[in-house]
């Protein structure tokens, strides 16, 4: 990084919310433009800045600030100029002159340590001293926080996040527990926190450090989709990360459990460790799902066979026996799970169930784990469907944690709850949904258990099915209208371990043979940019065609694909606004994705029905950049063509380009056209489950690009990452004891 020293000449723009500034700084007689996060900047300030020179397409050469340090003046003239600049409320040019005349070079020390001495100056009383003290303290507070954390490689954006989270207590809290940063501030990992801790003199073998490290390791492991961690894995990882003895780790593991920070359980001679929230989520789901399954439900006063027959006649369809069984079970049972692959009629069954219930005066609520899935559910049924978060009336707590208004005390007011895309529901969301489901309410859970599990922790749908605690209907028959789709046919073939039927003329499933990753890359770009839009003029290359890839890294990973695709699909042009952020350049028109749950981001509705505003943008939500406001340093994104979110720069690390996304991130989505690169990769990743999930995201066309060897390898490989969850065991254990 380069370094410049100078005095702030003028502030062109400052965003009070996120600290972003555009300013002029005078260095050796030259007037330079600087940009960056400097929340405490004022005119007349002397600064030492580290960063790099960049060329802005409209405003020319600018110095992009990465690190900032105030260098206070040490001469009477310099101090007077500094104070006269208006940096401190209550001090103007006249008062600045009086202070310096009285205290000379000691003036700043007086403000810092002995402000009461200002009373020695005529015209300064208690009221004015209070104003000066508050202003000086607030500015110094943020400045000290920035200076303290920047010494450890914490970025200005992260400093602002720390300050917003902990306010004036930031340094004290972090000094007491540097590892709180790994839990509370996105983008700060254990190594950064450990660096701060070691500099503060915390020994590597300290109880505090090891227990914090244990919690960090468990959280990281659960971030991969697990609800618990086998103790041997924890110890192995602890030895690697913490660099202490096995005895140190075991002692602190037991101490943490004893103090209630974590939970350790021994199940069938194996030990597992939980964070407290996931432990209670598993207990909560176990208790409620069993209670609902054993509950007595009011018998329905209707001829169910007649109702089904009327629906068939009205819609000119004929249900298969398993589909009729699913409908009857949903009407008669308290809780039912309906699972099946594409084309097996899950949506039609939901339609039938809903219409019969509503015809007889039952109030039905429909929900799905994502906005995209809820929107599809509404379009397919003609009835309102909401995200589960909206059903439960999500709000934000004092510490920006997710809270729900609908709970056991204030349950959902309905007779029937139908939940679609249940494979995406993680353990936390399912626990909250079940809490808000009152006894006597029918619960119908619909999803494809053969798809990838939820992005969040747990393997809820599979655990519930395999525990055999509720009625499960597996749909295998393909509806006639879907049977001619090779997407549907091949999805079932792949799921059964068979090779798909490729390149049948006039069909919707194609394979392009390519050898070598660079050749595959060129073919992908050609398909999305030219060939497919030319093949069907109605297909918009940005909105209708989606590349799904198995991996994040490498030539065919999302990182490289997005850079290459952005160059072709949304290149820079005169007048098109863009913003650089870390490794990304965001432009107006870019397709983007939210990469983590953010419960505090506010949105307002630009189209569609429902609430006009709300909070919460979730992992996997996709949208397009509508505008980049350079003055306010914000990016406006429209999600699902109907919700606008204005991102401050501190939240841009939660956004990625989405011209290509991983198959994992595509869960719950549907796209008219899906292109999937198929190549040899890690066996645990390149498996049947992944390929199946990817092709079931397409509605009208699938194109596989790569080697037939890779396709066969994925279909033959039925191994996948094992998710650690004890939900199934808990349910079975209770049922065995009941029986």
Q: Give residue 526's pLDDT.
A: 93
Both 467 and 506 in a single domain? no
Cβ-contact 322, 466 below 8 angstroms: no
Q: Give residue 685's pLDDT.
A: 80
Alpha helices in 151-275 (DSSP H): 156-166, 170-176, 180-184, 190-199, 207-222, 231-242, 246-258
- 383 has binding-site annotation: no
Q: Which of 302, 285, 253, 649 lies closest to 433, judged by CA?
A: 285
Asked if residue 286 belongs to a domain, the reply is no
Asked if residue 565 belongs to a domain, the reply is no
Both 707 and 608 in a single domain? no
CA distance 511 to 355: 41
Q: How far is CA 441 from CA 20, 389, 478, in A?
A: 51, 19, 30
Both 263 and 324 in a single domain? no
Both 653 and 667 in a single domain? no
Both 449 and 493 in a single domain? no
Q: Give residue 395's pLDDT.
A: 78
Low-confidence ranges of the chain (pLDDT < 50): 480
Asked if residue 365 belongs to a domain, the reply is yes
Q: What CATH number should be reported for the domain holding residue 507?
A: 3.40.50.300
Asked if residue 571 belongs to a domain, the reply is no
Both 142 and 162 in a single domain? no
DSSP type of residue 501 = P
* Average pLDDT value for the chain: 86
- 347 has binding-site annotation: yes
Both 15 and 138 in a single domain? yes
Q: Which residues, in sequence order, are bridge partners of residue 46?
A: 7
Query: Distance between alpha carbon 513 and the CA centroid of its chain, in Å?
Result: 35
Both 9 and 108 in a single domain? yes
Q: What CATH number should be reported for the domain holding residue 600?
A: 2.30.30
Both 394 and 517 in a single domain? no
- 344 has binding-site annotation: yes
What DSSP element (H or E) covers 430?
Answer: helix 427-435
Both 342 and 446 in a single domain? yes
Asked if residue 292 belongs to a domain, the reply is no
Asked if residue 679 belongs to a domain, the reply is yes
Query: What are the contacts of 626-635 at 24+ separation with CB within 8 A?
Result: 626/588, 627/577, 627/588, 628/577, 628/578, 628/579, 628/586, 628/587, 628/588, 630/577, 630/579, 631/13, 631/15, 631/22, 632/15, 632/20, 633/15, 633/18, 633/20, 634/15, 635/579, 635/586
How confident is the model over 391-410, as pLDDT tens digits? 998 877 665 667 889 999 99
Q: Give residue 352's pLDDT.
A: 92
Range of the domain at 613: 587-658
Q: Give residue 366's pLDDT.
A: 94
Q: What CATH number should be reported for the domain holding residue 232?
A: 1.10.10.2220
CA distance 718 to 502: 21
Pick from 444, 462, 479: which residue ends a domain? 479
Cβ-contact 319, 345 below 8 angstroms: yes
Q: Give residue 150's pLDDT.
A: 66
Cβ-contact 100, 76 below 8 angstroms: yes
- 343 has binding-site annotation: yes
Q: Which pair of tokens denotes residue 337? A: 């799970």
Q: Give residue 294's pLDDT.
A: 86
Pick from 136, 151, 166: which residue ends a domain? 151
Asked if residue 557 belongs to a domain, the reply is no
Both 631 and 698 in a single domain? no
Q: Which pair of tokens denotes residue 144? A: 């000290």
Q: What CATH number should be reported for the domain holding residue 116?
A: 2.40.50
Both 268 and 181 in a single domain? yes
Indicate the number of domains in the chain. Answer: 5
Asked if residue 703 belongs to a domain, the reply is yes
Q: Give residue 479's pLDDT.
A: 67
Pick from 151, 173, 189: which residue ends a domain? 151
Q: Is 618 helix (H, G, I), strand (E, B) or coil?
A: coil
Q: Which pair of tokens denotes residue 549? A: 């890839």
What DSSP element (H or E) covers 694?
Answer: helix 688-695
- 437 has binding-site annotation: no
């Amino acid at each position: 990084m380069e370094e410049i020293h100078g005095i702030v000449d003028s502030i062109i723009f400052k965003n009070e919310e996120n600290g972003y500034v555009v300013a002029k700084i005078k260095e050796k007689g030259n007037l330079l433009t600087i940009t960056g996060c400097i929340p405490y900047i004022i005119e007349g300030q002397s600064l030492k800045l580290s960063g790099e020179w960049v060329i802005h397409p409209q405003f020319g050469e600018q110095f992009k600030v990465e690190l900032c340090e105030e260098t206070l003046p040490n001469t009477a003239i310099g101090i007077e100029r500094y104070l006269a600049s208006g940096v401190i409320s209550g001090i103007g040019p006249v008062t600045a002159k009086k202070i310096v005349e009285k205290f000379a070079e000691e003036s700043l020390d007086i403000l810092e340590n002995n402000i009461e001495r200002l009373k020695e100056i005529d015209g300064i009383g208690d009221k004015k001293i209070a104003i000066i003290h508050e202003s000086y303290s607030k500015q110094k507070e943020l400045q000290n926080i920035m200076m303290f954390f920047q010494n450890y490689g914490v970025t200005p954006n992260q400093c602002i996040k720390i300050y917003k989270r902990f306010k004036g207590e930031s340094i004290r809290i972090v000094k007491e527990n540097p590892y709180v940063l790994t839990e509370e501030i996105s983008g700060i990992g254990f190594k950064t926190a450990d660096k701060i801790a070691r500099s503060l003199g915390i020994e590597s073998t300290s109880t505090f450090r090891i227990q914090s490290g244990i919690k960090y390791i468990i959280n990281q492991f659960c971030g991969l989709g697990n609800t618990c961690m086998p103790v041997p894995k924890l110890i192995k990882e602890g030895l690697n990360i913490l660099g202490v003895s096995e005895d140190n780790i075991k002692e602190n593991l037991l101490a943490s459990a004893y103090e209630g920070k974590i939970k350790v359980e021994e199940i069938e001679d194996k030990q597992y460790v939980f964070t407290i929230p996931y432990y209670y989520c598993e207990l909560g789901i176990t208790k409620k799902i069993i209670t609902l399954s054993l509950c007595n439900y009011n018998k329905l006063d209707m001829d169910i066979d007649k109702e089904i027959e009327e629906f068939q006649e009205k819609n000119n369809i004929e249900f298969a026996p398993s589909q009729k069984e699913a409908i009857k079970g949903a009407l008669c049972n308290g809780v039912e799970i309906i699972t099946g692959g594409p084309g097996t009629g899950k949506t039609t069954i939901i339609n039938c169930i809903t219409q019969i219930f509503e015809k007889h005066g039952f109030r039905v609520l429909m929900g799905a784990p994502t906005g995209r899935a809820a929107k599809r559910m509404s379009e397919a049924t003609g009835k309102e469907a909401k995200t589960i978060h909206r059903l439960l009336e999500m709000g934000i707590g004092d510490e920006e944690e997710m809270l729900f208004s609908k709970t056991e005390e204030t349950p959902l007011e309905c007779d029937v709850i139908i939940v679609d895309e249940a494979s995406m529901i993680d353990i936390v969301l399912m626990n909250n949904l079940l809490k808000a489901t009152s006894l006597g309410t029918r619960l119908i859970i619909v999803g494809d258990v053969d798809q990838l599990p939820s992005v969040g922790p747990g393997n809820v749908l599979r655990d519930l099915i395999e525990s055999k605690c509720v009625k499960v209907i597996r749909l295998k028959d393909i509806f006639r209208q879907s049977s001619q789709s090779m997407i549907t046919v091949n999805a079932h073939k792949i799921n059964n371990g068979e090779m798909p039927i490729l390149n049948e003329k006039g069909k919707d499933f194609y394979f392009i043979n390519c050898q070598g990753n660079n050749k595959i890359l060129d073919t992908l770009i050609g398909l999305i940019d030219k060939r497919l839009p030319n093949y069907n003029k109605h297909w918009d290359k940005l909105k209708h065609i989606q590349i799904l890839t198995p991996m994040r890294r490498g030539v065919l990973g999302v990182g490289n694909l997005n850079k290459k695709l952005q160059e072709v699909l949304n290149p820079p042009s005169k007048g098109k606004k863009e913003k650089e952020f870390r490794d990304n350049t965001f432009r107006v028109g870019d397709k983007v994705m939210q990469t983590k749950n953010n419960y505090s981001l506010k949105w307002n509705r630009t189209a569609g029905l429902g609430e006009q505003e709300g909070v919460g943008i979730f992992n996997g939500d996709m949208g397009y950049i509508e505008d980049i406001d350079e003055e306010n340093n914000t990016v406006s994104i429209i999600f699902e063509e109907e919700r606008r979110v204005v991102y401050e720069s501190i939240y841009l690390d939660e956004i990625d380009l989405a011209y290509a996304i991983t198959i994992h991130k595509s869960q719950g989505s549907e796209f008219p056209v899906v292109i999937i690169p198929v190549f040899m990769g890690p066996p645990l990743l390149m498996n049947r489950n992944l390929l199946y999930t990817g092709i079931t995201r397409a509605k009208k066309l699938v194109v596989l690009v790569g080697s037939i060897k890779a396709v066969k390898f994925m279909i033959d490989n039925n191994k996948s990452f094992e998710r650690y969850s004890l939900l199934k065991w808990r349910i079975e254990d209770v049922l065995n004891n009941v029986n």
